[in-house]
């Protein structure tokens, strides 16, 4: 059976994804309506359909970008990143908004978020040292992670990190032992509020049966608080709570705030300490396909602020200063991955479209079953769409980028496919599988494209192999 014989996709209309912030101007609404009509609702806001089936992002042609820089290539819209930073600063004007570096990190990204007034959340000495070397103020950096190495802790202390989030009882001992005799390090305790939230079981971190944090339910969190208060070189400044990732509803955050405020009240009653800070983490959902939900930053801010103020009033506590850690919600919708088709074939009941990337540059479908919405770019097609599965080039049956998606029935080798919502957890989770080499990151803005991170070469990879 040929690809033309494959079944047609159900083309029923889906509502566009919910916006990140509050409603914009009439011009913004008109532009959004135009993008929705063009099937670009989950693309960067600068995305526009262009002649000959092309799409322009940040005023730059994706076809020309692929020709100039090769494929696969990550395209990142600088203005989109900056606007999303501003949305969070506007929604949370009295909070510390810290960008979660694990989503995507580069020198340029560090500059963008610093210039937009955000702090930084890091999970390793590597992320920390790159940030400080690039000029990021260390006092605006938060370090967390469930198993920080001695090197991580020494780097954090040596470079003057603002806050370290303690994640285990043994870490308290380890950290207290390496703080200089004349020093005092600000710390927070990561607590687990017993909330199941997140887009997949593997990214739910608010329950007691996973590796992160210290349980409120079994008393581990309160025990850690008491231990830290007994350490003369550790200054407990607050509690930290991250309940999961890709959370589209505000309610889990409201519930988490309520439970953590209750714990703060008990700490005040037992130790006479009113903690001045509360970090509610990140995990804010974005839409990967048209019709999917995003978490609205403005709605989140209003509900969390109300719950925090009401809960503190009931408990007789001063309202702590909030910190939140958006990562995916800042950079995810700003990215587009562009691939070139290498093969199209029918096997059994499926049509497979194989591209020149795959799980080495985007492992998320294999890890979490994430579904994307690829689009043919670079040429027009009047052929009706067919259901196909877009697969990668790697030697794994699970190397699938997009399953059962609609593409024109005449898709063929040499075509370009663009995958939106590709800014977060793509390069940062990329691997060297099959020695393919990680793609470059190209920033686009005002019609200009420039390389932020160059393509990884075979020479780059072979330099590490020093044995014969």
Range 382-399 burial, b when 16+ CB lie within 10 A, else e: eeebbbbbbbbbbeeeeb
Annotated binding residues for substrate, as ranges? 328, 364, 368, 396, 425
326, 358, 373 - which closes a domain: 326
Average pLDDT taken over every residue of the chain: 90
For the record, the structure tokens of 290 come out as: 């048209």
The region, left, alpha or beta by phi > 0 then psi within -120 to 50, assigned to residue 272 is left
* Mean pLDDT along residues 244-255: 90
Same domain for 307 and 356, yes or no, is no
Q: Quick check: is 89 in a domain? A: no
- Nearest Cα to Cα of residue 405 among 351, 333, 360, 342: 351
State pLDDT tens for residues 67-122: 999 999 999 999 999 999 999 999 999 999 999 999 999 999 999 999 999 999 99
Same domain for 285 and 209, yes or no, is yes
Same domain for 158 and 299, yes or no, is yes
Q: How far apart are CA 396 and CA 35, in angstroms?
A: 35
- Nearest Cα to Cα of residue 49 among 41, 40, 58: 40
For residue 208, pLDDT beyond 90: no
Q: Is the pTM of this model over 0.85?
A: yes
Same domain for 363 and 403, yes or no, is yes
Q: Quick check: is 87 in a domain? A: no
Annotated binding residues for pyridoxal 5'-phosphate, as ranges? 283, 325-328, 425
Same domain for 173 and 41, yes or no, is no
For residue 20, pLDDT beyond 90: no
326, 345, 367 - which closes a domain: 326
Same domain for 200 and 322, yes or no, is yes
For residue 439, pLDDT beyond 80: yes
Same domain for 165 and 310, yes or no, is yes
Q: Quick check: is 95 in a domain? A: no
* 208 compared with 1, residue with greater pLDDT: 208
For residue 16, pLDDT beyond 50: no
Q: How far apart are CA 127 and CA 237, in angstroms?
A: 23
For residue 57, pLDDT beyond 80: yes
Q: Quick check: is 440 in a domain? A: yes
Same domain for 317 and 353, yes or no, is no
* Mean pLDDT along residues 388-408: 96
Percent of the chain with pLDDT over 70: 89
For residue 130, pLDDT beyond 90: yes
- For every residue of 78-116, DSSP letters joined together read HHHHHHHHHHHHHHSTTSEEEEETTS---HHHHHHHHHT
Same domain for 269 and 391, yes or no, is no
Residue 434 burial class via C-beta count within 10 angstroms: exposed 0-12, middle 13-18, buried 19 and up: middle
- Looking at residue 201, its pLDDT comes to 59
Residues 154, 178 contacting (CB under 8 angstroms): yes
283, 305, 326 - which closes a domain: 326
How many domains are there within the chain? 2
For residue 132, pLDDT beyond 90: yes
- Looking at residue 23, its pLDDT comes to 43
Compute the half-sphere exposure of residue 174: CA atoms within 13 Å on the CB side of its CA.
Answer: 16
Same domain for 152 and 258, yes or no, is yes
Compute the half-sphere exposure of residue 5: CA atoms within 13 Å on the CB side of its CA.
Answer: 8
Q: Which helix or strand (DSSP H or E) is residue 128 part of?
A: helix 125-133
Write the CB contacts of 1 (distance below 8 Å, at least 6 apart in sequence): 346
CATH number at residue 336: 2.40.37.10
Hunting for tokens 């509803």 — which residue is that? 249
- Looking at residue 196, its pLDDT comes to 60
For residue 12, pLDDT beyond 80: no
Q: Quick check: is 370 in a domain? A: yes
State pLDDT tens for residues 147-183: 899 999 999 999 999 999 999 999 999 999 999 989 9
- Nearest Cα to Cα of residue 431 among 404, 392, 397, 384: 392
Residues 101, 120 contacting (CB under 8 angstroms): yes
Same domain for 448 and 343, yes or no, is yes
Q: Quick check: is 134 in a domain? A: no
DSSP 8-state symbol, 320: P
* Mean pLDDT along residues 36-55: 93
For residue 411, pLDDT beyond 90: yes
Q: Of 29, 85, 241, 395, which one is the catalytic site residue?
A: 395
CATH number at residue 262: 3.20.20.10
Percent of the chain with pLDDT over 90: 81
395 is catalytic: yes
Annotated binding residues, as ranges? 283, 325-328, 364, 368, 396, 425
Q: Which residues span the domain enclosing 346?
A: 3-77+332-461
- Nearest Cα to Cα of residue 244 among 214, 209, 210, 282: 282
- Looking at residue 146, its pLDDT comes to 87
Q: How far apart are CA 245 and CA 196, in angstroms?
A: 11
Same domain for 281 and 352, yes or no, is no
- Looking at residue 10, its pLDDT comes to 27
Hunting for tokens 């925090």 — which residue is that? 308
Cβ neighbours of 50 (radius 10 Å): 14
* 217 compared with 438, residue with greater pLDDT: 438
- Looking at residue 403, its pLDDT comes to 94
- Nearest Cα to Cα of residue 303 among 263, 262, 251: 251
For residue 209, pLDDT beyond 90: no
């Amino acid at each position: 059976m040929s690809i033309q014989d494959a079944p047609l996709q159900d083309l029923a209309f889906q509502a566009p994804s919910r916006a990140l912030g509050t409603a914009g101007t009439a011009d913004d609404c008109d532009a959004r309506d135009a993008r929705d009509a063009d099937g670009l609702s989950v693309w960067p806001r600068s995305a526009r359909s262009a002649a000959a089936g092309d799409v322009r992002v940040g005023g730059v042609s994706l076809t020309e970008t692929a020709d100039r820089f090769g494929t696969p290539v990550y395209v990142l819209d600088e203005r989109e990143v900056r606007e999303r930073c501003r949305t969070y600063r506007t929604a949370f004007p009295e909070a510390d908004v810290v960008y979660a570096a694990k989503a995507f990190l580069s020198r340029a990204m560090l500059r963008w978020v610093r210039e937009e007034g955000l702090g930084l959340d890091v999970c390793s000495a590597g992320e920390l040292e790159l940030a400080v070397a690039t000029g990021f103020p260390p006092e605006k950096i938060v370090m967390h992670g469930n198993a920080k190495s001695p090197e991580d802790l020494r780097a954090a202390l040596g470079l003057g990190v603002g806050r370290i989030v303690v994640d285990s009882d043994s870490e308290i001992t380890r950290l207290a032992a390496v703080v200089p005799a004349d020093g005092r390090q600000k710390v927070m305790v990561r607590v687990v509020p017993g909330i199941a939230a997140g887009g997949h079981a593997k990214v739910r971190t608010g329950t007691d049966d996973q590796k992160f944090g210290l349980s409120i339910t079994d008393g581990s969190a309160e025990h850690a608080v008491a231990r830290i208060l007994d350490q003369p070189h550790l200054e407990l400044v607050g509690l930290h709570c991250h309940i999961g990732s890709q959370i589209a509803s505000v309610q889990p955050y409201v519930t988490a705030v309520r439970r953590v405020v209750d714990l703060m009240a008990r700490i005040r009653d037992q130790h006479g300490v009113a903690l001045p800070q509360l970090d509610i983490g990140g995990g804010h959902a974005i839409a990967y396909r048209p019709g999917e939900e995003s978490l609205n930053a403005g709605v989140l801010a209003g509900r969390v602020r109300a719950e925090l103020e009401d809960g503190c009033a009931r408990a007789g506590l001063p309202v702590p200063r909030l910190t939140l850690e958006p990562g995916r919600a800042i950079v995810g919708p700003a990215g587009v991955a562009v691939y070139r088709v290498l093969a199209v074939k029918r096997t059994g009941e499926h049509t497979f479209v194989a591209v020149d990337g795959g799980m080495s540059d985007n492992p998320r479908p294999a890890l979490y079953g994430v579904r994307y919405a690829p689009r043919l770019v670079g040429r027009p097609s009047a052929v009706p769409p067919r259901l196909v599965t877009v697969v990668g080039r790697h030697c794994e049956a699970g190397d699938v980028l997009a399953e059962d998606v609609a593409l024109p029935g005449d898709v063929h080798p040499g075509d370009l496919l663009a995958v939106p919502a590709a800014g977060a957890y793509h390069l940062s989770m990329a691997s060297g599988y099959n020695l393919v080499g990680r793609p470059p990151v190209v920033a686009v803005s005002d019609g200009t494209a420039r390389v932020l991170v160059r393509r990884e070469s075979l020479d780059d990879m072979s330099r590490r192999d020093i044995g014969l």
